[in-house]
Amino acid sequence: MSATGAAHPSVKERAELALNDEFLRKAVKFTTERLRNGKKNASADHGNWDEWRERGRQIRLHTIAHLDYYLNLFVENARANGVHVHFADTGEEAVRISLDIAERKSAKSVVKSKSMVSEELHLNHALETIGVEAIETDLGEYIIQLAGEMPSHIVIPAIHKNRYQIADLLSEVAGERLEADTTVLAGFVRKKLREKFLEADIGMTGCNFAIAETGSMVLFENEGNARMVTTVPKTQITLMGMERIIPSFEDLEVMATLLPRSATGQKLTMYMSGISGPRRSDDADGPDEMHIIIVDNGRSLQLGDPEFQELLNCIRCGACLNACPVYRHIGGHAYGSTYSGPIGAVLTPALNKNIAEWDDIANASSLCGACYEACPVKIPLHEMLIYLRRRKVESGHGNKLEAAGMKGFAVLMANASRLRAILALGKIGQKLVVRKGEIRTKIGPLKGWNSYRVTPSLPRASFRDRWATLDQEIRHGLQELNPEMQRRLENAVKQRQQGGGAGHGGH
Amino acid sequence: MADIDKSETAHAAWLKEMEAASRAKQETFMNGIAARLRHPRMKEKPAHPYRGALDFWREFEWTEEERIARFADNWRSVGGHVARLSNADEVRDFIAGKAKELGARFVVRQNQAELDALGLEAALPDARISVWNSDPEEHWKARAAEADIGVVAADYAAAYTGSVTVLSAKDKGRSVSLLPTVLMIVIPIERLKTRLGEVLVNFDRAGREQLPAGIHFISGPSRSSDIENDLTIGVHGPGIVYALIVG
């Protein structure tokens, strides 16, 4: 991540790379549309979708609001199941514990199923430094690991690779030329990874949900690799974000209803596994030793912050990515971090608490609210993006030119005759650059805009000129702001006045 | 042997050390969360008014006929196969027929009474049939990995999502439903429910101490769309799965 970040420091530059890659853009668009339509159909088929979303939100809100109780309960129950539980305040600490276990077990290889937390920690690299081979076993993750890249989508990590590129990568591993045929390629991976599963010393997983009342961890997947990782090796390590908790199996029904439908449009993923500790003494498979590492790594900063606490409700389905018009154009890598799309734009600076470094990510959004509409637990991501932008400006990381421009704009707009005068001037001045009613020149400040778009010219009769008539016409038909949104915004303002946002004070 | 014992003792000691550290850290970790949430540490179970699914959903139930039809639709829609059979003899004949058709040489099955009753061994004299964990000396994961066909009996099934639930135990390996190329799942009709919640609630009722190490919901063949969105079946788990509804 840092490599990509350092070479192309701004979202704009990274996005330009993506925008120039025709295949990537098409692949991202095609996949996100497929997933988005799948989700739309699945949620419509199921029915009462908004009620389910609300229930999901309530369960997540309740659990996070009582996280000290539920997390503690989970820990006690997991321990009673025979799990070794560890706590990591930071990513480094989680890495150190993982490496300690690998060293104590004299592990040569670790097979991993998809885990966003592990991506967050850059664990594979760390394992390699102590001579332990780390193998991603999710088909898409395996491919991007071979390519030495980052996932570009939470659910479909290799969305940006075509099968010819994949055939090249796998042929290198095979030592022979593999046909660029999906069945051939997947068949090769099955065979190759079977060997890896059977010889690995440690299996490492993430955790979709952790059930407080029974100390169980739950995994959703389609390939069966997470089952492999939790069944075959002698030692299992699970990395779990501290917020993954839900109270009970009953609550899991709601999450199991929301997550697969939102992620891929499935009624349920092919496998859903609840694992409660290492194998029982009479069992003939399952791990002998099981560790769960509970990771904070910036998550607790959101607790008690009225603007961002709901971020912890996220169930990592990726629906906001698929719904986001910006993500669909620039793809995941342009976000330059583990989490991409709208959730990444908010989560990354929130977890890293360095708004300055990630400042432009919050701008990679049109604030259209499609992410909120798509979110199965109703996280108001578009509002959070505004809060982020505000905090960035408040902490002195605003754009000086933009501030000056806004000031100038304010001066103009504050006085009607001033605005009228400048518009009249503009109508005369634009004659130099207008061709067929459009401005296409890329000189000076117009370059950024006109590289991809066309600036319209000032019309002969503007909206302002016609306002008096229009005003009469629509005076009675004015629509009010959606009451729920209005309430939310009012609440946010109120909480801010009460000294909220302390968690991000250091930005 | 003595060396192994010694290193195991050292490892156990290290685990103990780690546990002590973890318990100490647990307090500061939880206190930190409580402080951020601006409330005193919560030691009592909070009222959870939104627990589980919506009320109208809990009342939703299909007739047996509908459950079978919906389960079969869902299972087939993801590429699985379904057979509706009336008794153990039909199950035996079905499995034996498929095993012969596929030329299966190795079969592994759970050590379950429902499966003992089938008499598969007699029906498939040419195949080697292993019964899970029937011999403590055997390397059972290897037996499952080499198997062409795995045979399990479902503990539960849910029609609405087209899912089967299998629980691990001494006699029921997790590998049997995972490692073979083909999976046959016998579903006694009375275990087929409408909703996922009807299955899940059993685990809350049973409580932590009664839970098996592995609870697995299986909703079809192993699959992936990671290469160009092109659906591939049998990526890691079984690619061919049969649901045999009996009774």
pLDDT tens digits along A465-476:
888 888 877 776
Residue A370 has pLDDT above 70, yes or no: yes
Is residue A491 predicted with pLDDT exceeding 90?
Answer: no
Torsion of CA B28, B34, B39, B41, to 10 degrees: -60
Residue to test with chain A: of B50, B135, B172, B210, most A Cβ within 10 A = B50
Q: How confident is residue A395, by pLDDT bands cut at 50, 70 and 90?
A: confident
DSSP state of B172: B
A50, A71, A211, A222: best mutation site toward chain B, by most B Cβ within 10 Å?
A222
Whether the per-residue pLDDT at B94 is higher than 80: the answer is yes
Query: Would the pLDDT of B201 be above 80?
Result: yes
Nearest of A218, A192, A222, A176 to residue A111 by alpha carbon: A192
The answer to whether the Cα torsion of A205, A231, B81, B230 is positive or negative is positive
Are A422 and A416 in contact, with CB atoms under 8 Å apart? no
Q: Would you call A182 and B230 a contact, using CB atoms and an 8 Å cutoff?
A: yes
> How close A100 gets to chain B, by Cα (Å)?
10
CA distance B154 to B64: 17
Q: What is the mean pLDDT of residues B5-22?
A: 92
Amino acid code (one letter) for B106 = F
Q: Which two tokens stand for residue B110?
A: 């759970």
Could you give the CA distance from residue A68 to residue B33 in angstroms, rounded to a whole number?
6
Mean pLDDT for B58-67 is 97
Helix (H, G, I), strand (E, B) or coil at B62: coil
Sheet holding B156-158: strands in order across? Answer: A245-246, A209-211, A216-221, A271-275, B214-218, B163-167, B156-158, B192-193
Q: Do the strands A235-241 and A202-205 form a parallel or antiparallel pair, or are they unpaired?
A: parallel
Q: Which of B141, B163, B209 sits opposite A268 (nearest CB)?
A: B163
Q: Which CATH architecture has domain B57-246?
A: 3-Layer(aba) Sandwich (3.40)
Check B175 against A285: CB less than 8 A apart. Answer: yes
> In this structure, what DSSP letter does residue A369 have?
-
- Rounded to the nearest angstrom, the minimum Cα separation between A420 and chain B is 52
- Residue A4 pLDDT more than 80? no
Beta-carbon contacts below 8 Å between A and B: 283
Confidence of residue A455 (pLDDT cuts 50, 70, 90): confident
Task: Write out residues 206-235 of A within 8 Å (CB-CB) of B.
Answer: 213-216, 222-225, 227-228, 230-232
Q: By C-alpha distance, which of A20, A52, A22, A55 is closest to A39? A: A52
**What's residue A349's pLDDT?**
86
ipTM above 0.90 for this complex: yes
Phi and psi torsions of B228, nearest 5°: 50, 35
Question: Minimal Cα distance from A181: which residue of B?
Answer: B227
**pLDDT value of position A467:** 83
Query: Is residue A358 very low, low, confident or very high in pLDDT (cuts 50, 70, 90)?
Result: low
Task: Write out chain B residues lying below 8 Å of A235, CB-based.
Answer: none
How many other C-beta atoms lie within 10 A of the C-beta of residue A504?
Answer: 21
- The residue with greater pLDDT, B55 or A352, is B55
Over residues B181-200, the pLDDT tens digits come to 999 999 999 999 999 999 99
Residue B152 pLDDT > 50: yes
pLDDT confidence of residue A20: 67
From first CA to last CA, the distance across chain B in angstroms is: 52
Strand order in the sheet with A109-112: A84-88, A289-295, A235-241, A202-205, A109-112, A133-136
Judge whether residue A16 has pLDDT over 80.
no
Question: What is the Cα–Cα distance from A299 to A305, expressed in whole angstroms?
Answer: 11
- The single-letter code of the amino acid at A434 is V
Tokens coding A218: 């739950």
Nearest CA in chain A to B234: A223
Q: Are B229 and B194 within 8 A, CB to CB?
A: no
Per-residue pLDDT tens for A48-107? 999 999 999 999 999 999 999 999 999 999 999 999 999 999 999 999 999 999 999 999
From the list B218, B131, B219, the residue with the least C-alpha distance to B173 is B131
In sign, the C-alpha dihedral spanning B6, B8, B11, B17 is: negative
pLDDT mean across residues, chain B? 96
Question: Largest Cα–Cα distance of chain A, in whole Å?
Answer: 88
Other CB atoms within a 10 A radius of the CB of residue B50 amount to: 18
Domain ranges for chain A: 48-297, 400-474
Q: Domain A48-297: give its CATH code.
A: 3.40.50.10420
For the entire predicted model, the pTM comes to: 0.88
Which among A69, A139, A162 has the least Cβ separation from residue B42? A69
Q: Which residues of chain B neighbour A62 with C-beta distances below 8 Å?
A: 46, 48-50
Copy the structure tokens of residue A496. 């801010």
Note the pLDDT of residue A384.
93
Q: What is the mean pLDDT of residues A207-230?
A: 98
What share of chain A has pLDDT > 90, as a percent? 58
Instruction: Compute the distance between CA of residue B27 and CA of residue A242 in angstroms, rounded to an integer.
Output: 14
Q: Count the Cβ atoms, other than its own, within 10 Å of residue A479.
A: 6
Q: Give me chain A's average pLDDT, please.
A: 88
pLDDT reading at B4 higher than 80:
no
CA torsion through residues B36, B42, B48, B53, sign: positive
Question: What pLDDT score was predicted for residue A470?
Answer: 81
What whole-number distance in Å separates Cα of residue B4 and Cα of residue A55? Answer: 52
Which residues of chain A neighbour B197 with C-beta distances below 8 Å? Answer: 250, 253
Residue B99 has pLDDT above 90, yes or no: yes
Give the pLDDT band of residue A5 (cuts 50, 70, 90): very low
Q: Do B222 and A270 touch (CB under 8 A)?
A: yes
At residue B69, the 3 state secondary structure works out as helix
Record: contact A223-B237, CB cut-off 8 A: yes
pLDDT at A354 over 70: no
Could A268 and B219 be called an inter-chain contact, meaning their C-beta atoms sit closer than 8 Å? yes
Tokens 């668009």 map to which residue?
A29
Please tell me whether residue A357 adopts helix, strand or coil conformation. coil
The pLDDT of residue A2 is 37
Q: Kindly determine whether residue B230 and residue A163, on different chains, have CB atoms separated by under 8 Å.
A: yes
Give the span between the Cα atoms of B89 and B97, in whole angstroms: 12
Contact assessment for residue A261 and residue A65, using Cβ atoms and an 8 Å cutoff? no
The average pLDDT across B64-75 equals 98
Classify A221 in phi/psi space as left (phi over 0), alpha (psi -120 to 50) or beta.
Answer: beta
B135 near B167, Cβ under 8 Å?
Answer: no
Instruction: Give the bridge partners for B184, in sequence order.
Output: B151, B242
Do A247 and B54 make contact, defined as CB atoms within 8 angstroms? no
Residues of A in contact with B220 (CB under 8 A): 270
Q: Please report the sign of the dihedral spanned by the C-alpha atoms of residue A26, residue A29, residue A30, residue A31.
A: positive
Burial state string for A402-412 with b = 16 or more CB within 10 A and e = fewer than 16: eeeeeeeeeee
Confidence of residue A310 (pLDDT cuts 50, 70, 90): very high
pLDDT above 80 for B90: yes
Instruction: Please name which of A256, A246, A218, A245 lies closest in space to residue A52, comparing C-alpha atoms.
Output: A256
- Domains of chain B, by residue range, sit at 1-46, 57-246
